[in-house]
Structures are given as structure tokens and as C-alpha cells.
Amino acid sequence: MSNPECIAKTGVVQSVDRDRILVRILAESACSACHAKGACIASDTSEKLIEVNPADAGEVKPGQVVTVNMAASAGNRALFFGYILPFIAVFLTLLIFSTLTSEAVAGALSLAILIPYYLILFLLRKRMASRFRFSITT
């Protein structure tokens, strides 16, 4: 039985260090489970490495199958910072500069706004990582 306030994925422990545990999970697109995925190029699967703090995990060993959990609210926060906020920044920049300059310049500036946005996210990555915590259950 799963917790509706928690996002859970099954993975395999890749490595265990003193300060982090790496878990390899298989990330699948929504259409990868479709019966027609063999004839369609839209299906996509990839492996991801999730870093977990050892304080948020029990005793695990490399090769062990575990479940990686994250609060659903953290997933919503990641969606906001990764997709919604940059879209709003691009859209507002496009609206503002389209009245002041040509369409080409407004389009270029609206895309260029993403450079400082993602640079700021990169610089704040340690602070953001503390808000996106994963835990492991065996």
C-alpha cells in the first residue's frame, strides 16, 4: 500500500559512501508502458542516479533493491522551479519587450532570460538540495 503524499520509485543501490548513497532508478515516460511502444518513437526510458543522505536510509548495500521516496509537495516544488517559473519569466519578458522593441529582439531577450535564471538555480543548488530530500525504504 502506497502513501498518496509520497512519490516512490524502485531502484538498485549503486554505491554506499559515508556522506551519500547513490540509487539507480529506471525513469520511464508515460507512453513507455503502451502496448504500441515498439512501433512508436515517442516512448522513452532512461536510468537516473538519485543521491540520498545516509541519515535518511537504513542499512543498505550495493546491489540491494530499495524504494526511493520523496514527498509529493517536493515534486510539485521541483515542477514549479523547473518548468512553471521559467515559463512565466519567458512569457512576461516577451510581453514587455515586444512593446518596446522588434519581435526578433523580444524573442531573443525572452530566451536569454533563462541564462541568469538557471545560473541562479545552479548557484543555489545546495540550498535547493536541502528542500528536496529523498529517503530509502527496503
What residue spans define the domains of the chain?
6-137
pLDDT for residue 115? 96
Q: Considering only CA atoms, which of 79, 73, 69, 49 is closest in space to residue 9?
A: 69
Strand positions, DSSP E, 2-112: 6-16, 21-28, 45-52, 65-71
Average pLDDT for the chain: 84
Residue-wise pLDDT tens digits, 73-86:
888 888 999 999 99
Model confidence at 54, in pLDDT bands (50, 70, 90)? confident
Q: Scan for cell 517536493, then name that residue.
A: 74
Evaluate if residue 43 carries a pLDDT over 60.
no
pLDDT value of position 123: 95
Q: What is the pLDDT of residue 1?
A: 44
The label of the residue with cell 498518496 reads 4
Question: Can you give the pTM of this predicted structure?
Answer: 0.65
Q: What percent of the chain has pLDDT over 70?
A: 83
Neighbours of 19 (CB within 10 A): 8
Residue 73, phi-psi category: left (phi > 0), alpha (psi -120 to 50), beta (remainder): alpha
